[in-house]
Amino acid sequence: MELGKTSGFERLYARVTRLYFGGMARHLAELRPFLKPGAQLGYVVGDQASYLQVLIQTGRLLSEIATTLGYEVVRIDLFRTRLATATRQQLREEVVVLRWPGGRKTSWSLSAGLPC
């Protein structure tokens, strides 16, 4: 609001971000029953910087969500950097590699956003 960015995508940024990470959490939670112990998953994700100049470290946040769901973070590797058109910042794209250890069947509540 202070930057005067109140139209278009800027108004939806918080909602879009919440829907993306909520969707990824739901995906990871619902995938667990189908994974064999030791299964590894890889996701290519990119950081975002909005017109509001809010940096979202997608790889770090996704790995934190995965950890709360019982996954282990194997590594986060730099895939490439790219130029953000809105802010002209260099942003990271990363490969997040997760491992499902198996055994633990943590239940997860989307409304709470935390394992229970």
Does position 105 have pLDDT exceeding 70, yes or no? Answer: no
Q: Give me the pLDDT at residue 113, please.
A: 54
Cα torsion 81, 73, 116, 104 to 10°: value is: 150
Which parts of 33-108 fold into alpha helices (H)? 58-68
> Mean pLDDT over residues 89-109, rounded?
82
pTM assigned to the model: 0.79
Q: Mind listing the domains of the chain with CATH numbers?
A: 9-103 (3.40.50.150)
Share of the chain above pLDDT 70, in %: 78
In what helix (H) or strand (E) does residue 47 lie, and over which residues does it extend?
none
pLDDT category of residue 84 using cuts at 50, 70 and 90: confident
pLDDT category of residue 116 using cuts at 50, 70 and 90: very low
Which parts of 2-114 fold into alpha helices (H)? 9-31, 58-68
